[in-house]
Amino acid sequence: MLAIARQRMLGQSFKKILPAVSVLRSYSSAAKQITVREALNSALDEEMSADPKVFLMGEEVGEYQGAYKITKGLLEKYGPERVLDTPITEAGFTGIGVGAAYYGLKPVVEFMTFNFSMQAIDHIINSAAKSNYMSAGQISVPIVFRGPNGAAAGVGAQHSQCYAAWYASCPGLKVLSPYNSEDARGLLKAAIRDPDPVVFLENELLYGESFPVSDEVLDSSFCLPIGKAKIEREGKDVTITAFSKMVGYALKAAEMLEKDGIYAEVINLRSIRPLDRSTINTSVRKTNRLITVEEGFPQHGVGAEICASVVEESFSYLDAPVERIAGADVPMPYAANLERMAVPQVEDIVRAAKRACYRSELEGY
């Protein structure tokens, strides 16, 4: 019922809050457009077809075809032994998934929202992330935990948190967060093939978004490297790092900044842990300025880690203080007007970039 109610709510508000999408993306030979939902579904389908050890489990993944239709058609194709509907008991089915991974299977565990993963966090952290180390490498845990992460629309404080920083702080986990269809398809395939536990953070507001993809991306062998960021837009004046939905916002901000003669370089992190520190620092050494953007809370966030990395490795290259754009340091409000104020907006990124470039007078203050 929660999934149905949220889908109806999203259907009414989706057009108002679509993430900004740059027309200047650097895709090679873009042959067609597919949605993020289709990219995730095709990645699951192809990996299940290629490896009989891969199976899916979670609430409503089978008969209902997924709360957000990511697993559409997979129960019919692979049967109930490989697409398992579970009770509403995250601690239970996550523990079962980790146990299956101990024995060589490759579970893909879906959380209807990552907020519900808190019910299962003991299995994710203590059972999955630490077993390879504590067994001296004798136990591999090839499991993927996936589902929507971060703020949606009008679902309140308990269903709007970003868990990127939570899970990225834990050794033993890999944490990925796709932005577009290429990311979603290539990173999910990489996550399923990886021998270690992977937390895969999607965004439900992006599921219906369409992005151009090349023939290479559509090939069944396509896979993106874990731990490698992508420069979505090159620039010379300021570096903007972002992940998930915020990449679209950063690209839109870069378009607006260009009209004022500021050329921003936008980095799509893709991988939160491991973090591509090399790409970030190389960019900062070129632009001499850094803006980090994320939806999560500011304290101890992903942006804070990026700032620390740049200060440690590239401090002498900075020509301005680092700017962090993050969600407000409050529980997410339910009221729509307050909710908008609690998450980063394109205008926030533009203002920060102008401050970093000492161009804030253009805004009248």
**What secondary structure letter does DSSP report for 116?**
G
With beta carbons less than 8 A apart as the criterion, state whether 93 and 112 touch: no
Q: What is the pLDDT of residue 152?
A: 86
Q: How many Å apart are CA 310 and CA 147, to the nearest integer?
A: 30
Q: CA angle, 46 as apex, 94 and 106 as ends, to 5°?
A: 30
The predicted pLDDT at position 31 comes to 66
Report d(CA 190, CA 217) in Å as an integer.
13
23 domain-assigned = no
Domain extent, residue 133, equals 33-218
pLDDT score of 331 more than 60: yes
Shared domain check, 242 and 94: no
Pick from 94, 226, 97: which is nearest to 173 by CA?
A: 226
Average model confidence (pLDDT) for the chain?
91
**% of residues, the chain, pLDDT over 90:** 87
* Amino acid residing at 224: L
Return the structure tokens found at 178.
């796709």
Q: Which entry of 38, 60, 123, 159 is annotated as an active-site residue?
A: 159
pLDDT in the model for residue 359: 84
Show the tokens assigned to 296. 């999560």
pLDDT band at 81 (very low <50, low <70, confident <90, very high): very high
Q: Is the pLDDT of residue 17 over 50?
A: no
- Residue 364's pLDDT band (cuts 50, 70, 90): very low
Do 281 and 148 share a domain, yes or no?
Answer: no
Classify residue 223: in a domain, yes or no: no
Query: Is 159 a known active-site residue?
Result: yes
- Mind listing the pLDDT tens digit for each residue in 1-16? 444 444 544 454 444 4
State the Cα–Cα distance between residues 76 and 83, nearest whole angstrom.
9
DSSP three-state, residue 11: helix
Shared-domain flag, residues 65 and 213 = yes
DSSP-derived pairing of the beta strands 174-176 and 271-273? antiparallel
The first and second tokens of residue 84, run together, are 């398992």
* Three-point CA angle 36, 174, 239, nearest 5°: 70
Reported confidence tier of residue 153, pLDDT bands at 50, 70, 90 = confident
144 and 199 share a domain? yes
Q: From 167, 194, 218, give the residue that closes a domain.
A: 218
CATH at residue 108: 3.40.50.970
Per-residue pLDDT averaged across 87-98, rounded? 97
Nearest by Cα to 161 from 294, 273, 67, 60: 294
Residue 28 lies in a domain: no
Residues 255, 192: one domain?
no
Rounded (10°) CA dihedral 51, 270, 134, 193: 10
In-domain check, residue 288 = yes
272, 302 contact by CB (below 8 A): yes
Q: Is the pLDDT of residue 285 over 50?
A: yes
At residue 226, does pLDDT exceed 60?
Answer: yes
pTM over cut 0.75: yes
CA 59 to chain centre: 21
Do 206 and 249 share a domain, yes or no?
no
Domain's final residue, options 191, 218, 245: 218
* Alpha carbons within 13 A on the beta-carbon side of 361: 1
- Domain count along the chain: 2
Report whether 307 contacts 322 (CB < 8 A).
Answer: yes
174: confidence class by pLDDT, cuts 50, 70, 90: very high
Contact 314, 286 (CB under 8 A): no
The verdict on residue 145 lying in a domain is yes
Tens-place pLDDT, residues 246-258? 999 999 999 999 9
Compute the average pLDDT of residues 86-108.
Answer: 97
Q: Inform me whether the pLDDT recorded for 271 exceeds 50.
A: yes
- Region 217-227 average pLDDT: 97
Say how far residue 131 (Cα) sits from the centre of its chain. Answer: 25
Token code pair at residue 57: 């489990």
Lowest-confidence range among 108-122, 147-161, 201-215, 344-358?
147-161
CA distance 78 to 96: 20
Structural domain includes residue 54: yes
Known catalytic membership, residue 90: yes
Q: How far apart are CA 187 and CA 165, in angstroms?
A: 18
Contact 300, 329 (CB under 8 A): no
What pLDDT is recorded for position 30? 44
Place of tokens 């992006």: 206
Q: Is residue 336 part of a domain?
A: yes
- Clarify whether residues 67 and 131 are in a common domain: yes
Question: Is the distance from CB of 299 to CB of 267 less than 8 angstroms?
Answer: no
pLDDT tens for each residue of 24-58: 344 444 469 999 999 999 999 999 999 999 999 99
- Tell me how far apart the alpha carbons of residues 301 and 310 are, in angstroms, rounded to a whole number: 15
Q: Average pLDDT of 88-105?
A: 97
Complete DSSP assignment for 39-86: HHHHHHHHHHHH-TTEEEEETTSSTT--TTSTTTTHHHHH-TTTEEE-
CATH number of the domain encompassing residue 291: 3.40.50.920
Tell me, what's the pLDDT at 1? 43
Residue 23 has pLDDT above 90, yes or no: no
Whether 277 has a pLDDT exceeding 50, the answer reads yes
Asked whether residue 205 falls in the same domain as residue 244, the answer is no
> Which is catalytic among the residues 90, 110, 323, 339?
90
Answer with the one of 164, 188, 218 that is the final residue of a domain: 218
Asked whether residue 240 falls in the same domain as residue 214, the answer is no
Q: How far is CA 267 from CA 59, 233, 283, 318, in A?
A: 34, 7, 9, 17
Res 360: pLDDT: 72
* Any domain includes 15: no
Residue 201 φ then ψ, to 5°:
-100, 105
Q: Is the pLDDT of residue 203 over 90?
A: yes
Judge whether residue 361 has pLDDT over 90. no
